[in-house]
Structure 1
Amino acid sequence: MKLKTRMFGKTYQFKDLNEVQAKASEQKSGDELAGLAATSKEERAAAKIVLSETLLSDIRNNPAVPYEIDDVTRVIQDQVNESVYKEIQNWTVGELRDYFMQYTSTGPIIQRIATGLTSEMIAAVTKIMSNLDLVYAARKIDNRASCVTEMGRPGIAMTRALPNHPTDNIDGVFIELYEALSYGIGDAMLGLNPVQDTVESTTYLLEKLYEFRMKWEIPTQNCVLSHLTTQMAALQKGAPVDMLFQSIAGTQKANESFGISTSMLDEAYDLGKKYCISGAKNPMYFETGEGSELSADAHMGVDMLTLEARTYGYGRRYDPFCAMSVVGFIGPEYIYDTVQQIRGGLEEHFMGKMHLFPMGVDVCYTNHMPASQNDSETLALLLAHAGMPYFVTAPMGDDIMLNYQLLGNHDLQTILELSGLRRDPAFEQWLQKMEILDDNLKFTARAGDASIFLK
């Protein structure tokens, strides 16, 4: 395996593949914090050259974290389709990128190739792709999954409503939910982040959401994002659970810091398949984010983007209904500004699609980042044109419980009209029945009027 290149009269030598991967990454403040990033643009370019000339087999044989000590690595390596891998093992990373760019490489062709790739290979090709490359290649891929409804159909962009409240006050939760639905938000899920992580509180919130959904005949699914163990206990006691949620990471050590393990996720997956009231084929929902391993002192000397790809490889074991990256949520220590936010969002969406499940991005930032709503809108439009299957929004783009900024409920209609995407067809019909959308799928005068659910 070649680990050096000569550029502009200077030789750049790298000690191992992990260093090449880290220094080939686009600038991220988290990699700089960890001491892994390239020290100059020239060194970054040299690392990209070396990475582009690396064989896929070299990446397979040198996982970011050794197989013997990390169950994330074992999950990733053991799920590779060996027949497909044998066809492409002698390709370079550059040849893989060129293959994705060919107009003859359709979604099904790319999806087949993806079964023979490890997460580290997907991370590597991502690092040598431009923003436009990431949009172009991701748009080709549509991964479908089903819970109560189906996600991932071409031309459809769904949304998660985010009715969070700082005290779990049920009236406050529903006021936010009414507003979201009145703007046509919620066909991906009605997904609540609770303040209280107890079986009793989780069950109560699930029951209230389920009663509301049944009363208004809303074609969607519910989720209360307690810890996985809390949701499992609620489900076993008969709570109306449509899907099970958990945050996951790209190393075994980081997952242990979340209080989870592979055996626990295996149990949850089996439990969800057997007892979720949705009858879901895909009963799992994951959230991720670059920097979570570093913040838990569990990055194992690996760069953030490679770890994020490994997170998706780990999640793929459970064939999720969807996954979502909270790209700017952890803060400027990891994703510093709008340049890094936009790049990270496009990278994560592409890598999620390459792991063959519906992948969303919470287009968001914290208030101590040098970013703005304008920047979020730019990323949202790029992701829409990349064919992202679902977004998440909140009233006025402000999560009053988690204290971060994201897209507003009122933003989605503009994004759909500009990109040519649509909501889930069954949800569109419900919105028309509620007289929120007209026959041309445009807002009526009732749009944004949350009081329609009080009359």
Structure 2
Amino acid sequence: MLNKTYQFTSLKEIFAKANEVKSGDQLAGIAAIDAQERLAAKHLLSELTLADIRNHPIIPPEEDEVSKVIEESINEKIYQSIANWTVAELREYLLSHETSRYEIERIRRGLTSEMVAAVTKIMTNLDLIQAASKIEVVTTCNYSVGQKGTLAGRAQPNHPTDSIKGIQASLYEALSFGVGDAVIGINPVIDSAESVKRILEMTREVIDRFNIPTQNCVLAHVTTQMKAILNGAPSDMLFQSLAGTQAGNEAFGINVSLLDEADDLIKKEGTAPGPNLWYFETGQGSELSSDSHHGVDQLTLEARCYGLAKKYKPFIVNTVVGFIGPEYLYDSKQVIRAGLEDHFMGKLQGIPMGVDVCYTNHMKADQNDMENLAVLLGSAGVNFLIGVPMADDCMLNYQSTSFHDIATVREVLGYKPSPDFEKWLEKIGLMNHGRLTDLAGDPTIFLT
């Protein structure tokens, strides 16, 4: 290439150097040195077969339980039918107007997370939007989300002291903008079973009092939630952050055995019929921050998070795309790229994918950048976005999308809330014929 020869010593190196520019990969010392080397790696990656990728595991299953979960999930018959495809051929298949969502749903059962990561690396942003927009992943907890033509919202009414009244006030504002159909999900300041139970009881009381077709969750550590549920807390689903390696998950204080135990508990003691009873969060760079990345690039590790999540048939999953900071995604360009990558990789693996369109204040990004990404993700068919008051989370100290941002993206792109939630909004006068009414944004309607 340009009269220069490039040599790569391993599949892991090819994967890392074929990745788009990410400050996390540069920090780890595994990124391409320049655009020419990146292009050479992409070209070589595009010519590899899916069998090449499976036969040369980046992290062997005997060394990592996440790899084992991914390997055991493969449908061998489907895999054999596509094993000789090159990564470039997989890309062409996904983008072809002749390929239906049903055909994508079939072949994904033969794909490993690393194959998904590989095709992502040779796709443009518009490729990622187009391919993801074909895929519909509908899940059910108390109610269903993910239908084509809908955009759900997670109400995130966090409070810096876990004040029940403060959380409730913020929740009423979210509902008044039509946000909360994905989940009413609170990040607690106090990671205790007692605090989690109080918050769950309050959200359950609000849901029951106003007959809201949604589900609740408190985003404490899974072991804390388990204790709260055993103490009688009314939780519709369990939450946990995931990493793409066994060591990364151990840094989160979890492993597959614990997740299996929690899965059994929520099925027996949770308050929702399901069958989808989990909420997972991920985000590129978490493995690097805990020194558990094994020299693997952050996009590939993120794809592996979804391979693990798939085992538990989650109700919703979202990448917190810009939350960790500029050490992993330096600026808005990298955040936008990562958001589109994560959404596509999740959807291709059958994950009900949402995105927390967010950034930290020491990153080279601003709210306009996040609004751009929100619209791009809406075009890609994202299942849900996160809503916080005025796009500013007063507890986690980061910037996300606001309640009215979600309402605006729906209006601009012609999307509706989830069907049962839309009916409820119409019943209480907040929506009429798919559009918010003049009552929208007035939380006092829930105080009368």
TM-score class, shorter-chain normalisation, is over 0.9
Measured after TM superposition, the shift of residue 233 of structure 1 is 1.4
- Structure 2 residue identity aligned to 1:449: D
8 Å contact 2:429–2:437 — kept in the other structure? yes
Question: Using the alignment, how far apart are the partners of 1:233 and 1:443 within structure 2?
Answer: 40
1:301 corresponds to 2:287: no
Distance 2:58 2:314 in 1: 24
The offset of 1:237, in angstroms, is 2.2
How many Å separate the matches in 1 of 2:112 and 2:423? 41
Task: Using the TM superposition, give the Cα deviation of residue 443 of structure 1 relative to its aligned residue in structure 2, in angstroms.
Answer: 2.2
- The residue type equivalent to 2:381 in the other structure is G
Q: Which residue of 2 aligns with 1:3?
A: none
Counterpart position of 2:285: 291
Query: Are 2:43 and 1:45 aligned?
Result: no
Structure 2 contact 16–296 (Cα < 8 Å) conserved: yes
Identity %: 56
- CA distance in structure 1 between the partners assigned to 2:95 and 2:422 by the alignment: 34
Shift in Å at residue 446 of structure 1? 1.2
Alignment match, 1:445: 438
Quick check: 1:145 aligned with 2:139? yes
- Given that residues 194 and 202 in structure 1 are in contact (C-alpha distance below 8 angstroms), is that contact kept between their aligned partners in structure 2? yes
Determine helix, strand or coil for the equivalent of 1:349. Answer: helix
Structure 1: distance between partners of 2:407 and 2:316: 22
Which 5+ residue runs of structure 1 have no aligned equivalent? 1-6
Question: Comparing 321-330 with 271-280, which one deviates more in the overlay?
Answer: 271-280
Q: How does 1:310-325 map to 2 (within 5 A)?
A: 310-325=304-319
What are the within-5 Å matches in structure 2 for residues 350-365 of structure 1?
Answer: 350-365=344-359
Superposed, 1:381-396 pairs within 5 Å as: 381-396=375-390
Runs of 4+ that moved beyond 6 A:
none
Give the distance between the partners of 2:215 and 2:73, measured in 1 at CA. Answer: 29
Mapped to 2, the partners of 1:65 and 1:105 lie a distance apart of 31
Q: Confirm whether residue 97 of structure 1 aligns to residue 91 of structure 2.
A: yes
Tell me the TM-score normalized by structure 2.
Answer: 0.99
Tell me, yes or no, if the aligned pair for 1:31 and 1:37 is still in contact at 8 Å. yes
2:273 alignment partner AA: G
2:192 counterpart residue number: 198
In the TM superposition, what is the alpha-carbon distance from 1:107 to its structure 2 partner? 0.7
2:343 is matched with which residue: 319, 335, 349? 349
What's the secondary structure of 1:160's corresponding residue?
A: strand
Partner residue, 1:411: 405
Instruction: Return the alpha-carbon distance in structure 1 between the equivalents of residues 437 and 415 of structure 2.
Output: 19
Letter paired with 2:397:
N
Instruction: Indicate the SS of the match to 2:6.
Output: strand
- 2:306–2:351 Cα contact (<8 Å) kept: no
AA in 1 matched with 2:132 = A
Work out the number of aligned pairs and report it.
448
In the TM superposition, what is the alpha-carbon distance from 1:441 to its structure 2 partner? Answer: 2.2
Q: Does 1:120 align with 2:97?
A: no
Indicate conservation of the 8 Å contact 2:32/2:38, yes or no: yes
List per-residue Cα deviations over 1:17-60 (Å, max 9, x = no partner).
00000000000000000001000000000000000001111110
Counterpart AA for 1:356: G
TM-score, scaled relative to structure 1: 0.97
Q: Any idea what the Cα deviations from partners look like across 1:391-422, whole Å, max 9, x if unmatched?
A: 11111000000000011111122211221211
Question: 2:158 & 2:56 partners in 1: Cα distance?
Answer: 42
Match of 1:240 among 225, 234, 239: 234
Match of 1:167 among 143, 161, 172: 161
Per the alignment, residue 4 of structure 1 pairs with none
Root-mean-square deviation (CA, aligned residues, Å) is: 0.8
Supply the distance in 2 between the matched residues of 1:355 and 1:271 (Cα, whole angstroms).
Answer: 25
Q: Name the counterpart of 1:10.
A: 4
Runs of 5+ consecutive residues of structure 2 not aligned to the other structure: none
2:155 corresponds to 1:154: no
Q: Select 1:326's aligned residue among 314, 320, 328.
A: 320
